[in-house]
Amino acid sequence: MSKAILVLEDGRTFSGTAYGALGETFGEAVFTTGMTGYQETLTDPSFHKQVVVQTAPQIGNTGVNDEDDESDRIWVAGYVVRDPARRPSNWRSKGDLGERLTAEGVVGISGVDTRALTRHLRERGAMRVGISSVDLDPQVLRQRVLAQPQMLGADLSAQVTTGERYTVKAEGEHRYTVAALDLGIKRNVARRLAARGVTTHIFPASSSIEDLLAVSPDAVFFSPGPGDPATADGPVSLARDVMRREVPLFGICFGSQILGRALGFGTYKLGYGHRGINQPVLDKTTGKVEVTSHNHGFAVDAPLNTVIDTDFGGVEVSHVCLNDNVVEGLRGIDLPAFTVQYHPEAAAGPHDADYLFDRFVELVEKKG
């Protein structure tokens, strides 16, 4: 088995064994705390340009299958695990995770003390990183790491969006039509809408308001995605166009940040982000606490306990993370729009927040 090293931009170095493809890769080092759902994580476009550290000690136990991908490829820039399973065991398994990483050219490393690495990132913040199984000189690799672009200021949605519009039809009787802007959409978004009788037309990130209105949508959806929302001026302008027409609007994660900017709020980069499936969020509308799936390194900067006057009327923070009081959702009081920063569409769970798709449909019903 080939040796490999991982070098952070501050010089911290970890040695291990190559996992997946041999080679060299760079990205932003982030950690995710999910004990399940690694296939969904790997194929989530929101992880584009990021090297993902799995805090769960053993990864690959259930192999890989043909049903759980959230897109048509693996998007992570690199993969870091402590103990890869030697043999997958699951009735749905169609192959080995390590073999799939190799087939898709994903460079990874195993045998790493992922607990120590995670603690380092929590204390120092997410940072650039390199993994190499071809050059084991830490100083040389670090110089290449320092030459890589940072996530702050990264405009990535154009790199992950669909090339052309496509449609996911409603299951059973068609009730409503949604125009979805693909900023890095996951397949389960359209599946959750389809289960509620919604036909979803998925559009490229560069689409105009005329493109979206061409399908006569009952509502518009802004998807999750990677990168810095401060760079997404086109989608922000589109969101404002949608709100001027008072078309019901729902945004998730990156889409929430886009709507936040469109409403006049700023965004900022979190120290090490929220990534995992056990994040407690308070829904201020109901007073309930949900256990939720997160994958975001940026957040909206908005006052937590007051109604804010915007160009589109009153807006309030609707959801808050109970770990750190980060804004996790916005709700329009005078316009039919709301957002959440986390993932109600998380296929691997938890599913506490799945009701938000019902809330979206109810918003359309009220508008109609």
253 catalytically annotated = yes
Token pair listed for 221:
């959806």
The CA distance from 120 to 127, in Å, is 10
* Cβ(91)–Cβ(13) below 8 Å: no
E strand residue ranges, 236-284: 249-252, 266-283
**331-338 long-range Cβ contacts below 8 angstroms, 24+ apart:** 331/285, 332/243, 333/307, 335/243, 335/246, 335/249, 336/246, 336/247, 336/248, 336/249, 336/363, 336/366, 336/367, 337/243, 337/248, 337/249, 337/250, 337/251, 337/259, 337/312, 338/249, 338/250, 338/251, 338/363
Residue keyed to tokens 């559009």: 203
Q: Is 225 annotated among the ligand-binding residues?
A: yes
* Residue of 40, 70, 328, 345 marked active site: 345
Q: Is 250 annotated among the ligand-binding residues?
A: no
Residue 353: partners with Cβ closer than 8 Å, 6 or more residues away:
281, 290, 292, 340, 342, 343, 344, 346
Strand pairing class (58-59; 83-84): parallel
* Cβ(10)–Cβ(127) below 8 Å: yes
321 catalytically annotated = no
Q: Is 221 annotated among the ligand-binding residues?
A: no
* Residue of 28, 253, 294, 328 marked active site: 253
Q: Is 297 annotated among the ligand-binding residues?
A: yes
Q: Is 227 annotated among the ligand-binding residues?
A: yes
Q: Is 257 annotated among the ligand-binding residues?
A: yes
The catalytic residue positions are: 253, 343, 345
Binding-site members for L-glutamine are: 46, 225, 227, 254, 257, 295, 297-298
* Annotated binding-site positions: 46, 225, 227, 254, 257, 295, 297-298
